[in-house]
Structure formats: structure tokens, C-alpha cells
A and B are shown apart, each in its own frame.
Chain A
Amino acid sequence: MTRPASSAAPQGAAIAEGGKAAVRRPFRWKDRMGLVPIAVFLLVWEIVSTLNESYEYFNPIFLPAPSDVVKEMWYLGQTGLITESIAASTVRILLGFLIGLVSAIAVGVLMNKYARVEYWLSPILNLLGPIPALALLPIFIIWFGIGEVPKVLLIAWTTFVPVLTNTLDGLKSVNPTLIRSALSLGAKERHIFFKVVFPSAIPSIFVGAQVSLGLGFSSLIVSEMMGAKSGLGYIIVDARNYFKMSNMFVAIVLIGLEFSLFSYLLKLLERRLVNWRQNGVRNAVEK
């Protein structure tokens, strides 16, 4: 009998074993999320901008150097604008994303359980789902004013559609043999749902959540560019009005960082909840 694959699958197994001490691997640059390419990219940008400042191939204002962006960020940080904007944007994305996620899962569960709910909702959602959420923003603003409500609702709606599709997909693709085995062990309907059907849908729900997070961020920024007085998107519009290119870059960098952070947190949560999964190319062939 072969030994379990714990040694063959370093990542998954280390997480799965939890308590046991994980083997610390030596530090290697290539493990660090491609820091080298990013550093090179910034360096090239810096050089191009600096050269451009002396030789003026084009107006230097168009492309501030990374060092200028950092300086600008520091300055804006001092005024408190950055903290304020990040706080405003974070509240909006968190609220919208959570509302969208929870309601999509709830609706997905209901549609999966009651054929009648699916009969009525499915065609309507298929009709509305593909409409780019951003096209709805002006309508949302007219309906709900320019406060927080239309922004949060827009983000919730953009989150809702992909999560719902993936939740349904996950709920429907549960292996029927698992249900049979649970039934033969004396499981009731609620056990079947909470211990078999829902856990098997969780990986799909996370796929939907990752897609939604990206779309939700676009909705956040665009809704802040139209009718807002705070937030990272607002910095961009405001900077455009005063032609302050470096401020725009500050906002863009912050948006990128915030999205990366949220996406990372979501992946971390996924890894915790779906630690039983051992598939993908990484586990197929050891390198």
C-alpha cells in the first residue's frame, strides 16, 4: 500500500495538516510573486520619465516618474486625503460585495431547491445578467440619488450575477453518489444540504467571488467617477479637472494595491475553506 501523498503535494498537504510543523523552505526570489519583473518595470518607467524630463520627447506632465508619484502620494497622505478616500472606497466595496455575495448564494440555494423559483427567476436573470452593470449606473443615480445607495447597489448587482451563476453550477454538479452515501448513513434533508450539497458548491462559489471582485472594483471606481465627493475614483476625476497627472497615478496605484489586497484575502479564505482540494497542474506533476 502506498503512503499518502502528503510529501508529494507540499502546498496542499502543509495546509491540510495544520498543526504539524510546516517545513520552511529556503527563501527564493522566484517564489515572491514576481517581484523582480515588477521592480524592472518600475525602473524602466523611472528611466523613461527622467530622460523625458530632460529631452522632452513629449510633455513630461503626461508621464510622471514613479518617484514623483510616491512623493505625491506622501504629500496627499499628509493632507489625510488618501486615508479618507481609501476608507470611503473600502466601505463601499465591502458593503456592496457582501450584499451581492450573500444574496446571490441565498437566491442560488432557493433556485436550486424550488423548481418554481428557478422557473420564474432564471429567464429574467438571463435577460438582465449580461447587461454591463455600468450601463445601469445613470439609472441607479436617478433612482437612488448620488449618495452611497446607488454605489453600493451597483457593486452588489455586479457581484450578484457571477456569484449566482457559479453557485447554481456548484449546487447542481454535486456528485449524486455522495448524496446516496449520506442517505444510507441516515442523513436527513438538512444534513444533505449542509454537509454534502453546500460544501461541494463552495469551490464554485469562490470562482464566482473572484470574478465578481474584479467586476465590483470597476463598478466602484466608475460610480465614484460619476457623482461622488470621496473615494479613489473621485481622486481621478478631480485630478483630471485640475490636470494633476501625478494625482491620477496615485489613485490608480492605490486602486491596484487595494484590489490585490482584497483578492489575496479572498484566496486566503478560499485556501482555508477548501483545504481538502488537491488538484490542478501543480499537483499533477512535481517539478
Chain B
Amino acid sequence: MHLAVENVEKGYADKRVLKNVSFGVDAHEFICILGHSGCGKSTLLNLVAGFLQPDRGSVTVNGIPVKGPSKSRGVVFQDHALFPWYNVLDNIAFGPSVQGKSKAEAREIARKYLKLVGLEEYADSYPDQLSGGMKQRVGIARALASEPDLLLMDEPFGALDILTREMMQKELLRIWLELKISILFITHSVSEAVYLADRILVMKDGYVAETFRVTMDRPRDIAHPEYAELVRRIQKILTDDQGEGIHD
């Protein structure tokens, strides 16, 4: 799997949200896109997911242009977007089921992924009965049940409290190592990006302002000097108003 975003531009009405964005994602890579709200990072994810089409430039997977949503690119939404009328198991079985698996097969697959996220006991619960963190686990399991090559995550832990958030980050790394998929993860938390990513794309005002490669071993220690230094450098870019020249 290789995702290539090349010279992509996207605008709504007279506002250009993305201005010439290029980057690539390789197999089993964990990429974080970091930026303030309104910097275009969600638009970028929606383009990769196939919900939107670029005005200029191209989004390709293995050389084939992205024409619409596909089960090979799973999406985890910030507001989890679970189907409230299905219980947890049937939410996860949704993908396999619409892809033509029988009900029993789909549920079998769903059980496997429910186990992966550690929620076997809640198979029969409805989304409204779960806590925020549990809903997001179900959201992740549902996206994974279609066995995507690339998982797109749009600020998935943004609405969670700090303790749940840290636990979910660890869980996500475990799942990522186990399944060997690629992840494109959007966040506005610098620390979260440094904790998770192989590569961090810092976005500013519709550009990729700078790219950082993170080589520290996982699990990463927040107290480590290298960690703190990286967080500091990224924060400087994000808060630096004179930094317009960086993207060139």
C-alpha cells in the first residue's frame, strides 16, 4: 500500500482550505497530521477517504486515483458515528455484512475485532449505553473489521478525558503493531502526535509547514529530553506567526 497526495488544492466558495499539499504514506507507517482547528487537516482526511474530491492535484493509492469511499480505507470519526440502532456487535459486523458476508460470518469477524479492542462483554449493548472511550473502541473495531490497508482517524480521542485518552493511545499502538496497517491520524495535540507517530506533518494555514520524523523507541517516555525537545520545536512552529516562509 502506498498513498500519495500530490499538489492537492481544495477550497469552498472563495476560501482555499488546502494550498498545494503533498505527502506520502507507506505500508505500516503511522503518520500524524498536526495543526490548529481550521488549518485544513480534516479536509485533507476527507479527501483521502474519498468523501471529497480535490480541486487540483491528485490523491492516489498504489497509483490508482481515489474516486470515492472504499472499504480499503477505514475511517474512525471524532464523534464515533456508530449506528445507534445496532448493538455493538452488529455495528462492527456492518462492514463485513454489506460486503456480502453472511450474517453468521459477519458476526464471527465482528467478535474477533471486538476481542481485539477488549469489549467482548458489551457485544449486546447499544452505543448509547457506552462511555465515550468505549464508543471509540467500537468505532476502531468497526473500521478494522473491513480489513483496511489504511486507517484514517479524524481526531478520534479529541472528546475523551486525559486518562482515557492515554489508555486509548497505548491500545491503538498495540493494535497497529499487531495488524501492521498504515494509520493516518489527525490531532491538534502535539504530545499525542509525538507519542504516536513515525512521521508528523505540521499543517498551518493550508500548507504542510514542516515534517518531523520521530525515531524514538516505543513506548515513548514523555519525560525523555528528546520527547520534550520535539514537542517544544513543534509548538514553536504552531505558535510562530512570522513562520509563513517555512513551507517553501
Binds A, one of B33-41, B66-74, B209-217, B238-246: B66-74
Interface check B125, CB cutoff 8 A: yes
What CA separation (Å) do A278 and B84 show in the bound complex?
10
Contact present for B95 and A4 (CB under 8 Å): no
Central interface residue in B94, B124, B131, by most chain A CB within 10 Å: B94
Contact present for A184 and B126 (CB under 8 Å): no
Contacts of A183 in B (CB 8 A): 51, 68-69
Total interface residues in chain B, CB < 8 Å: 38
- CB-nearest residue of chain B to A199: B85
Interface check B159, CB cutoff 8 A: no
What CA separation (Å) do A178 and B86 show in the bound complex?
12
Given A185-B71, A186-B71, A195-B94, also A4-B129 (CB < 8 A): yes
Contacts of B205 in A (CB 8 A): none
Contact present for A277 and B134 (CB under 8 Å): no
In B47-63, which residues have CB < 8 Å from any A CB? 49-51
Interface check A74, CB cutoff 8 A: no
A22 to chain B, nearest CB (A): 14
B145 to chain A, nearest CB (A): 8
Interface check B83, CB cutoff 8 A: yes
* Interface CB pairs A-B, < 8 A, 8: A1-B167, A4-B134, A180-B77, A184-B51, A186-B98, A186-B99, A187-B98, A277-B128
B114 to chain A, nearest CB (A): 14
A44 to chain B, nearest CB (A): 44
- CB-nearest residue of chain B to A192: B98
Contact present for A186 and B131 (CB under 8 Å): no
Central interface residue in A182, A186, A278, by most chain B CB within 10 Å: A186
B-side interface residues toward A, CB under 8 Å?
A: 49-51, 68-71, 73-75, 77, 79, 81, 83-87, 94-95, 98-99, 122, 124-131, 133-134, 142-143, 146, 164, 167
B84: contacting residue among A181, A185, A191, A276, CB under 8 A? A276
What CA separation (Å) do A9 and B129 show in the bound complex?
9
What CA separation (Å) do A4 and B121 show in the bound complex?
11
Contacts of B95 in A (CB 8 A): 185-186
Given A184-B73, A185-B71, also A195-B126 (CB < 8 A): no
Interface check A59, CB cutoff 8 A: no
Interface check A47, CB cutoff 8 A: no
Contact present for A185 and B125 (CB under 8 Å): no
- CB-nearest residue of chain A to B126: A276
Contacts of A177 in B (CB 8 A): 77, 79, 81
What CA separation (Å) do A12 and B128 show in the bound complex?
10
Contacts of B75 in A (CB 8 A): 180-181, 184
Given A4-B131, A180-B51, also A185-B98 (CB < 8 A): yes
Contact present for B134 and A1 (CB under 8 Å): yes
